[in-house]
Amino acid sequence: MCGIVGSVWTTADSAISPLTLQRMMSRLTHRGPDDSGTFHSEESRDPSGTSASFPKAALGHRRLSIIDVEGGRQPISNETGDIHVVLNGEIYNFVELRDELSGKGHRFATQTDTEVIVHAYEEWGNDCVTRLRGMFAFAIWDERQRVLFLARDRLGQKPLVFREEVGRILFASELKALLAVEGMPGALNLGAVDLFLTYQYVPDTTCILEGFRKLPPGHYAIFKRGQLDVQSYWTPPFNTPAERSPGEWQSLLRERLTEAVQLRMRSDVPLGAFLSGGIDSTIIVGLMRSLSPKPIETFSIGFSVAAFDETAYAREAAEKFGTRHREHIVDPSAIEVLPQIIWHFDEPFADSSAIPTFWLSRWTRQHVTVALTGDGGDELFAGYDRYRAVRLASQFDRIPLLRHFAALRLWQSLPFSVKPKSRLRRLRRFAAELSETPVRRYLNWISYFNAVQRSELYTDTMQAALAEQNADDYITWAYEQCKHRDFVTRTTAADVHSYLPCDILRKVDIASMAHGLECRSPFLDHPVAELAAEMPIEMKLNRKGGKRALIETFSDLLPASIQRRRKMGFGVPLDSWFRDELKPLLESTLLGSTCLDRGYFRENVLRRMLNEHATRQADHSSRLWALLILELWCQMYVDSPTPPQSCPTSFADMITMR
């Protein structure tokens, strides 16, 4: 687990210097605090003994040592020294690939998983990515062919951002490393702002700054003769369902997930697991315990607000498996890390669960270097409550009379509730969208600001700048990736293509790597994901709820109380914090001249939202949080005369940076 940077250039005037390469790497020290290494064409000779001709390359690496701690320094090259690789991530099947490649005559100089990539590329070329089982973003510089090969893992666990310019390409694990290059522009992409306020994250299809791009999950890119070609090599097989008996599904699921856990327990450093007390993390810890002769280290985080606290369930699971369990409570003072979170995420990111994930990662890193997680279980096995709502709404759609009553908007007569997660509040939100088309309905359910709310919020100038923008297109594209299944399955597939990589996995990667912690997710092992994609929705979701395949397959690992419990989620109590401890910060930031002078949002709408929330007329907490994050991000990344070089430790430090 590491941070990578690099560039390939075709002319002398587009070269990056060794000093610039070091500056890029310094922005990623948190991702790799243990070691660093570089390759630079200006400092090397090609195999013939002459100076490298154009194009030329530079690769940089910051290392978090996990496998072959002593011998795994990167970049790593092949035997002849003309193919070089830098990797961020882990290749879990490296032992098996190493044996196969050794049998084909390849010689290995280390015990690290990274070296497998070099020889896999030599043996299979671009198809090497299809042989890798893991989470990864890597760059290969093929000096013989003068080709740069970039790749990102199938489900998007590891990030890779790049910028293509005339005569060169630059890439890095995080945007801040690219901003360390001289002359980098920092123009705000207002279309990305619109998408952020809709979805709570900036999708992989765009970037918050103009001119930068992200390599999508399951894709590789080739930069050759100054041209970039991006290709897909994998997509989850939702469009190819399989037929098996319930027993066969359960047997395969148990086999594949157990193997995925076993592979992810390969480590030369201390290893543990996040344990929330939910179904996913409990199964992972249970399987870890069955595979380990020693007790598992487990970690959880809780809140003083009962509606958001899961620690009792985590303790129950920890007792069942005899883990060495630790827990930590987050209170409103935890918001002091917000400037750090904004710096680390590079782009605005409004999923408030980033706060507990950030704290949990910091807490866990004090004890272990690797932690297994339950990420991916909800999207792959229909665990979110909203999938139940989609299923119920689909039944309404088949009854014209009910659709007629929905169009009358009788839901407006229902009592209003601002109580978080209340049944009345969920019912009102469900009923409010019944008259919409299925895709529009789901978009409105998941949107922070829907189209009407954004129109009210934006100034005329902002609306004019977005005249060609349609934020709906992103979720429509996600649904198009699975066209021929039932609508609930199509919805889970849409989330796997959008919400999972752009929100959940980005959150875990950034929050964990901020503290040099490696998180591994067995549910995202691609054989497990493929099995889930092929599975009929009836195996996952019924009247009892979601994740039925997981509950029935792993019932021996799940206490009865955890099997029955409703999903709680990993959010924070923003609604109460914004009425009390955080109210001054919220008002001073959103109503301050710095925010208002940008000309993006109408002041009267901001004031109305703040007042309605404070007086409990409405719960605008998620929308106010998104606006707060956006403004603080702008102050850090747009208003500063130069991009922030180091992470602020507090709000006072953030002000000093400007």
For residue 211, what are the CA distances in angstroms to 150, 163, 175, 202, 214? 18, 6, 12, 14, 11
At residue 65, φ and ψ (nearest 5 deg) are: -75, 120
Do 279 and 302 fall into the same domain?
yes
Separation CA 457–CA 449 (nearest Å): 9
To 10 degrees, the CA torsion angle through 129, 210, 355, 24?
A: 70
Please give the average per-residue pLDDT across 557-574, as a whole number: 81
Separation CA 175–CA 161 (nearest Å): 6
Residues 6 or more apart in contact with residue 639 via CB below 8 angstroms: 594, 658
Do 32 and 134 fall into the same domain?
yes
Residue 570: exposed, middle, or buried by beta-carbon count in 10 A (0-12, 13-18, 19+)?
Answer: buried
Is the dihedral angle over the CA atoms 517, 523, 524, 526 positive or is it negative? positive
Do 96 and 194 fall into the same domain?
yes
pLDDT tens digit string along 140-197?
999 999 999 999 999 999 999 999 999 899 999 999 999 999 989 889 999 999 999 9
> Is 239 contained in some domain?
no
pLDDT tens digit string along 443-457?
999 999 999 999 999
Residues forming a β-bridge with 141: 84, 148
Placement of tokens 């990589």 in the chain: 501
**Residue 379 three-state SS:** helix
Do 104 and 194 fall into the same domain?
yes
Residue 536 CB-half CA count within 13 A: 10
**Domain boundary pick from 485, 517, 539:** 485
> Is 533 contained in some domain?
yes
Nearest to 357 by CA among 282, 301, 303, 296: 301
Please give the average per-residue pLDDT across 280-304, as a whole number: 93
Residues 6 or more apart in contact with residue 190 via CB below 8 angstroms: 462, 465, 466, 469, 600
Separation CA 466–CA 594 (nearest Å): 22
pLDDT band, very low/low/confident/very high, at 647 (cuts 50, 70, 90): confident
> Is 238 contained in some domain?
no
The CATH number of the domain holding residue 15 is 3.60.20.10
Q: What is the pLDDT of residue 411?
A: 47
> Is 240 contained in some domain?
no
Separation CA 128–CA 137 (nearest Å): 13
Do 215 and 333 fall into the same domain?
no
> Is 312 contained in some domain?
yes
Residues 6 or more apart in contact with residue 392 via CB below 8 angstroms: 430
Q: What is the pLDDT of residue 538?
A: 96
| Res. 608: pLDDT tops 70 | yes
- Other C-beta atoms closer than 10 Å to the C-beta of 615 total 10
| Res. 65: pLDDT tops 80 | no
| Res. 404: pLDDT tops 80 | no
Nearest to 77 by CA among 108, 55, 48: 108
Q: Greater confidence, 510 or 72?
A: 510
pLDDT tens digit string along 341-364?
999 999 999 999 999 899 999 999
Do 274 and 367 fall into the same domain?
yes
Strands 324-330 and 297-303 come out as parallel
Do 252 and 358 fall into the same domain?
yes
Q: What is the DSSP letter of 461?
A: H
| Res. 614: pLDDT tops 50 | yes
* HEC letters along 382-448: CCCHHHHHHHHHHHHHCCHHHHHHHHCCHHHHCCCCCCCCCHHHHHHHHHHCCCCCHHHHHHHHHCC
Do 84 and 176 fall into the same domain?
yes
**Residue 315 three-state SS:** helix
Strand intervals (E) in 99-218: 134-142, 147-152, 161-165, 168-172, 213-214
Q: What is the pLDDT of residue 215?
A: 98
Query: Into how many domains does the chain fold?
Result: 4
- Sheet bearing 227-232, strands edge to edge: 76-77, 83-91, 134-142, 147-152, 219-224, 227-232
The CATH number of the domain holding residue 548 is 3.40.50.620
Please give the average per-residue pLDDT across 223-244, as a whole number: 96
Nearest to 260 by CA among 360, 377, 156: 377
Q: What is the pLDDT of residue 25?
A: 95
pLDDT band, very low/low/confident/very high, at 560 (cuts 50, 70, 90): very high
Do 446 and 480 fall into the same domain?
yes
pLDDT tens digit string along 86-109?
999 999 999 999 999 999 999 999
Angle between helices 621-637 and 603-614 (to 10 degrees): 130
Separation CA 564–CA 279 (nearest Å): 10
Strand intervals (E) in 504-636: 518-520
Residue 426 CB-half CA count within 13 A: 11
Average pLDDT along the chain? 90
- Other C-beta atoms closer than 10 Å to the C-beta of 485 total 18
Do 38 and 110 fall into the same domain?
yes
Using only the alpha carbons of the chain, give its radius of gyration. Answer: 25
Q: What is the largest distance, in Å, between two alpha-carbon atoms of the chain? A: 81
Placement of tokens 């601002």 in the chain: 418
> Is 180 contained in some domain?
yes
Q: What is the pLDDT of residue 657?
A: 54
Nearest to 499 by CA among 386, 624, 420: 386
Nearest to 427 by CA among 392, 384, 477, 476: 392
pLDDT band, very low/low/confident/very high, at 51 (cuts 50, 70, 90): low
CB 637 within 8 A of CB 178: no
pLDDT tens digit string along 124-139?
999 999 999 999 999 9
Do 59 and 24 fall into the same domain?
yes
pLDDT band, very low/low/confident/very high, at 437 (cuts 50, 70, 90): confident
Q: What is the pLDDT of residue 480?
A: 96
Strand intervals (E) in 516-637: 518-520
Strands 370-372 and 219-224 come out as unpaired
pLDDT tens digit string along 469-498?
999 999 999 999 999 999 999 999 999 999
**Domain boundary pick from 171, 201, 232:** 232
Separation CA 163–CA 156 (nearest Å): 19
Nearest to 364 by CA among 285, 318, 299, 315: 299
> Is 237 contained in some domain?
no
Domain range spanning residue 639?
574-657
> Is 518 contained in some domain?
yes
Strand intervals (E) in 55-160: 56-63, 76-77, 83-91, 134-142, 147-152
- For the record, the structure tokens of 528 come out as 């497990």
Residue type, 286: G
**Domain boundary pick from 465, 485, 505:** 485
Please give the model's pTM, rounded to 2 decimal places: 0.93
Residues 6 or more apart in contact with residue 279 via CB below 8 angstroms: 374, 377, 383, 547, 550, 551, 558, 562, 563
For the question of residue 634 being annotated catalytic, the response is no
Separation CA 39–CA 18 (nearest Å): 9
Catalytically annotated residue among 2, 207, 519, 647 = 2
Do 14 and 155 fall into the same domain?
yes
pLDDT band, very low/low/confident/very high, at 396 (cuts 50, 70, 90): confident
Q: What is the pLDDT of residue 569?
A: 63
For residue 489, what are the CA distances in angstroms to 216, 256, 533, 543, 591? 22, 21, 8, 16, 43
Separation CA 23–CA 20 (nearest Å): 5
pLDDT tens digit string along 320-334?
999 999 998 877 676
